[in-house]
Amino acid sequence: MSPSKRAVRLTVFRRRARYLGRRAAWAAAIAAMAALLALADRAGLFGRRKTPDWPKYHARQFKVVRVVDGDTLDVDCPDGRYGSTRVRLLGVDTPESVKPDTPVQHFSLEAAGYLREKALHKTVTLELDPLRTRDTYRRLLAYVIGPGGENLNESIVTTGHGYADPRFEHPLSGRFARAQKEAMKARRGLWETAAEVDLPGYYRGKLKLPAASAPSGTFH
């Protein structure tokens, strides 16, 4: 091959490489921008409403004055006509122990005891999802961060004291789902003996329970 033809081929190759490099750079820049825009949108930087709950509760500390059950507590902050604020732990669901007309469910007392040990009379930090701060019962939805920085919502799932609630998306949905899989695999907490009848309706027939689980029925 003559030097001139070799030079032409090298020039074409370099142009092709530069073209592909520019396309890759643009694709990476667009992906990074999309991720930043998504984060900014979730944070409410594009005018999406932030309810009065946001400045009042988000990243603020409160004392837990009552633990209602495994996924609900009260903090010492007035809320409308109430002297305290009822907080529903975001992204988790624990067996019922105090719900009217509902039997005490499998592992509900252990779940309530766990949250009581972790939070009662302690100062916690609340973290809100800016897109949804209240549930249908007007309870505040929040991640509850314990004195040592522990996310108690996630801890409840990790230790098997409750379920990762799949009914509503939230910022840590994926993490909670993975934590539940690990808890099931290790047969932690309620997963050691949970039977199909013990599961909440949204999980019945959808989860493969640990093979060694023994029937326990609805009552603990």
Residues 109 and 179 grouped into a single domain: yes
Domain that residue 92 falls in: 53-198
Residues 40 and 95 grouped into a single domain: no
Residue 93 contacts by C-beta under 8 Å, 6 or more apart in sequence?
71, 162, 163, 165, 200
Please name the residue ranges forming H helices in 43-128: 53-57, 108-119
Residues 58 and 9 grouped into a single domain: no
The torsion defined by the Cα of 59, 64, 69 and 71, in degrees rounded to 10, comes to 10
Query: Is residue 203 in some structural domain?
Result: no
How far, in Å, are 19, 23, 32, 78, 105 from residue 28 at the CA level?
A: 14, 9, 6, 47, 50
Residues 118 and 155 grouped into a single domain: yes
Task: pLDDT band for 9, please (50, 70, 90 cuts).
Answer: low
Residues 40 and 141 grouped into a single domain: no
Q: What is the pLDDT of residue 218?
A: 45
Task: Check pLDDT > 90 for residue 89.
Answer: yes
Residues 32 and 118 grouped into a single domain: no
Task: pLDDT band for 48, please (50, 70, 90 cuts).
Answer: very low
Of 108, 99, 100, 95, the C-alpha closest to 199 is: 95
CB atoms within 10 A of CB 212: 9
Q: What is the pLDDT of residue 219?
A: 40
Residue 210 DSSP code: -
Asked if 31 and 83 touch (Cβ cutoff 8 Å), the reply is no
Q: What is the pLDDT of residue 29?
A: 72
Query: Is residue 208 in some structural domain?
Result: no
Residues 149 and 99 grouped into a single domain: yes
More confident: 190 or 37? 190
Task: pLDDT band for 40, please (50, 70, 90 cuts).
Answer: low
Residues 17 and 96 grouped into a single domain: no
Task: Check pLDDT > 50 for residue 188.
Answer: yes
Q: What is the pLDDT of residue 27?
A: 74
Residues 99 and 179 grouped into a single domain: yes
Q: What is the pLDDT of residue 97?
A: 80
CA atoms within 13 A of residue 19's CA, in its CB half-sphere: 6
Share the mean pLDDT of the chain.
86
CB atoms within 10 A of CB 164: 24
Alpha-carbon dihedral sign for residues 132, 135, 140, 146: negative
Span 121-138, mean pLDDT? 96
Q: What is the pLDDT of residue 125?
A: 98
Q: Give the catalytic positions in this structure.
A: 88, 96, 139
Q: What is the pLDDT of residue 47?
A: 44
Query: Residue 171 is part of a domain; what is its CATH number?
Result: 2.40.50.90
Span 104-117, mean pLDDT? 94
Tally of structural domains, the chain:
2
Residues 36 and 84 grouped into a single domain: no
Task: Check pLDDT > 80 for residue 192.
Answer: yes
Task: Check pLDDT > 80 for residue 70.
Answer: yes
Query: Is residue 214 in some structural domain?
Result: no
Q: What is the pLDDT of residue 105?
A: 85
Span 45-68, mean pLDDT? 86
Task: Check pLDDT > 80 for residue 206.
Answer: yes
